[in-house]
Chain A
């Protein structure tokens, strides 16, 4: 092999090794930062407040034609025997100069089991979607239909996410992501 060929071979594998380990470091830069329920998290001029976690055996979903319309009608959903609804209330304020999107992640219980947000089944005949829910406190809150909430600059939103968990499951973590031009992956410790 010529000298330049040997150099090329070494450079090829060095480039792979550097990028391979940099991929890990790059992930570290956006590593999950942990907060606790009740705390306010600040990400790029976006404030997220994980207000409270409540449990109920039924929840009312309010259906609407689209986001701008008022709720048309409500449907009660039961968690069912051996199940419960866990409701996480979140307040988000976008003080940044660009749109941000809050992506709903999954909930993890103390045994590491993963649960995705509960979406009621829609009737094929209705164009309505569940855009709001009535939480146990009685408040009508926005529901992140499609798994995300998008906020324009200087806007605020209070919303709630519902998870259906087995009765004996203890929620431990909630994972979420916030994106504008960058992605931020975070988690919230739900255990007190």
Chain B
């Protein structure tokens, strides 16, 4: 029995898209900052602030995309959707010409969330059932052990 929600291929692609975006957002500012240091160029303060926020966004986007792809729980889905919304806002402000595709993906994530919500609930019930079964098994094992301990003649 699977304990993860089934994602569509498109959702997995979106997760990978976020992962790649996260890596780019981490390495692009780092590369610029290190090159500036190497060449002894003092970058404008506004650019340094922008690069720092890019780096931060990259770290959080990468983390949320990894959790989105691996853990596949409601909480990680919402984390990634939230981070993607922030990425969309960033894109709208900084690179408006590529915004449409980002908002389209965000819309799909929201649409798919309401589809998958039921599955997330089922998974929770499934986990609960599994925990229940485990408890019963443990109870039976302990009872057997106690029973065995009470009857010393069986040890021979």
Which A residues fall within an 8 A CB radius of B? 1, 5-6, 8-9, 12-13, 16, 19-20, 23-24, 26-27, 30-32, 101, 103-106, 116, 144, 146-148, 175-177, 185
Contacts and interface: CB of A to CB of B under 8 A. Distances in A.
Given A1-B74, A12-B79, A13-B82, A27 B41 contact: no
14 contacts: A1-B74, A1-B75, A5-B74, A12-B60, A12-B79, A16-B60, A16-B83, A23-B53, A27-B49, A27-B52, A103-B37, A104-B42, A144-B40, A177-B42
A31 B44 CA distance: 10
Contacts of B53: 20, 23-24
B22 to A, nearest CB: 13
B69 to A, nearest CB: 16
Interface residues of B, number: 23
Given A5-B74, A8-B75, A23-B53, 20 more contacts: A1-B74, A5-B75, A6-B75, A9-B75, A9-B79, A12-B79, A16-B83, A16-B86, A20-B57, A23-B56, A24-B53, A30-B45, A104-B41, A105-B42, A144-B40, A147-B39, A148-B40, A175-B44, A185-B45, A185-B48
Nearest to B55: A23
Given A1-B75, A5-B74, A9-B75, A176 B42 contact: yes
A167 B39 CA distance: 27
A182 to B, nearest CB: 13
Closest 3 A-B residue pairs measured CB to CB?
A147-B40, A105-B42, A177-B42
B39 A5 contact: no
A175 B42 contact: yes
B78 interface: yes
B101 to A, nearest CB: 23
Interface string B48-84: 1100110011001000100000000111001100110
B30 to A, nearest CB: 14
Contacts of A104: 40-42
A124 B153 CA distance: 98
B78 A9 contact: yes
A144 B41 CA distance: 12
A185 B48 CA distance: 10
Contacts of B48: 27, 185
A101 B57 CA distance: 31
A147 B42 CA distance: 10
B73 A31 contact: no
